[in-house]
Amino acid sequence: MEIDKVEIQQQQQKMKQVHLFYCVESEELARNVAAHSELITLQSINWRNFDDGFPNLFINNAENLRGQHVAFLASFSSPGVIFEQLSVIYALPRLFVASFSLVLPFFPTGSFERMEEEGDVATAFTMARILSNIPISRGGPTSLVIYDIHALQAIVYLSIFLMQERFYFGDHVLPLFVTGIPLLKQRLHQLPESDKIIVAFPDDGAWKRFHKLLDHFPMVVCAKVREGDKRMVRIKEGNPAGCHVVIVDDLVQSGGTLIECQKVLAAHGATKVSAYVTHGVFPKRSWERFTHKNNGMENAFAYFWMTDSCPHTVKAIANKPPFEVLSLAGSIADALQI
């Protein structure tokens, strides 16, 4: 027993005391992260604006950050909030901190990484270049934590360069690509008849991203096929009959593909259909299509799980079935100790 206590004390001594700053819309998530660890202390920023609308920012307790491990929890939910957060992100490493970590749960331009014709602008590349120029702290490059980034068609975790001529991060940041799938797996095992669960993917891209993380579940893969002038969702492989089928993807926008998948799976005998996405983007309140009060959707989705990577959505769908939030707080707290 004494040896175990010594080992625990040694492990605790190796862990970092982290000062966590956060943007306005990520305050609830930041508080949940701090609640998971006594080693995380919340710090604050005065988010104000001058009369002309430009940010008037102040980092509280800045004089006491020298030699400390510092992190910032960001949410780039719209172009309008990115500049003020980048201003803080660029300032924090320059306060002689021991190390700096940036947690950006949702990389918002991750689906805009292709240049298919002359004139296309790959905004994901632009965002990566901006983050790659974060000043180096005393401890070295910034640790950049991102969850289930859409552009990782070939998943290579802990890699600096993204595959297939994707955008890349420079040497000033060390990207840590994390996934929310463990949260889903934990939730699925809590369900009754968890042995009757099948995982479905809406397309080959989702299968490539997640199948290795869910390989102990039976699987169904869907695909969009062209029939005349329409693109229809069809089952490419697998059989959902008699099972609770959970559609898994990295993010949702309008939700049209998920709804079409649900219809096809139900038509092929699925007893229940649920969905999981790491990032519930849902522009223009498109989440309303999935609520149980929406006509025609009462029994469509038994559960709709998402993480709290998009704070605006989390507030909007609170206490609205079938939505259920799986918090990233514990995972972020762990990532800040890496």
Grade residue 14 by pLDDT with cuts at 50, 70 and 90.
confident
pLDDT higher than threshold 50 for residue 274:
yes
One-letter amino acid of 175: P
Grade residue 273 by pLDDT with cuts at 50, 70 and 90.
very high
pLDDT digits (tens, 9 = 90+) for 30-76: 999 999 999 999 999 999 999 999 999 999 999 999 999 999 999 99
Cβ neighbours of residue 259 under 8 Å, at least 6 residues apart? 289, 290, 300
Q: Which CATH number fits domain 181-307: 3.40.50.2020, 3.10.290.10, 1.25.40.10, 3.40.190.10?
A: 3.40.50.2020
Grade residue 294 by pLDDT with cuts at 50, 70 and 90.
low
pLDDT digits (tens, 9 = 90+) for 116-168: 678 888 888 889 899 999 999 999 999 999 999 876 543 333 343 344 334 47
State the average pLDDT over residues 91-110.
Answer: 94
The candidate with the shortest Cα–Cα distance to 322, out of 308, 302, 338, is 302
Helix (H) or strand (E) holding 82: helix 79-91
State the average pLDDT over residues 17-25.
Answer: 98
Contact 315, 285 (CB under 8 A): no
Domains 3-178+330-336 and 181-307 in one fold: yes
pLDDT higher than threshold 60 for residue 5:
no
State the average pLDDT over residues 201-207.
Answer: 94
Grade residue 298 by pLDDT with cuts at 50, 70 and 90.
low
Q: What percent of the chain has a predicted confidence (pLDDT) above 70? A: 87
pLDDT for the residue 170 = 86
Based on its alpha-carbon atoms, the radius of gyration of the chain, rounded to whole angstroms, reads 21
* Spatial distance between the Cα atoms of 189 and 177, rounded to a whole number of angstroms: 24
pLDDT for the residue 182 = 98
Structural tokens at position 303: 């559960």
111 burial level (CB within 10 Å; 0-12, 13-18, 19+): middle
- Locate all alpha helices (DSSP H) within 239-309, ordered by sequence: 256-267
pLDDT digits (tens, 9 = 90+) for 312-327: 999 999 999 999 999 9
State the average pLDDT over residues 248-252.
Answer: 97
State the average pLDDT over residues 289-301.
Answer: 76
Average pLDDT, the chain: 89
The candidate with the shortest Cα–Cα distance to 103, out of 134, 64, 63, 61, is 134
State the average pLDDT over residues 104-116.
Answer: 77
Helix (H) or strand (E) holding 334: helix 329-335
pLDDT for the residue 154 = 35
* Spatial distance between the Cα atoms of 73 and 79, rounded to a whole number of angstroms: 17
Domain boundaries, the chain: 3-178+330-336, 181-307
* Spatial distance between the Cα atoms of 132 and 168, rounded to a whole number of angstroms: 9
CATH class assigned to 3-178+330-336: alpha beta
* Spatial distance between the Cα atoms of 161 and 247, rounded to a whole number of angstroms: 29
State the average pLDDT over residues 171-185.
Answer: 95
Contact 184, 248 (CB under 8 A): yes
Which residue carries 């099972």 as its tokens?
243
| Length of the chain counted residue by residue | 338
* Spatial distance between the Cα atoms of 38 and 239, rounded to a whole number of angstroms: 47
Which tops the pLDDT comparison, 126 or 253? 253
pLDDT higher than threshold 60 for residue 9:
no
pLDDT higher than threshold 70 for residue 11:
no
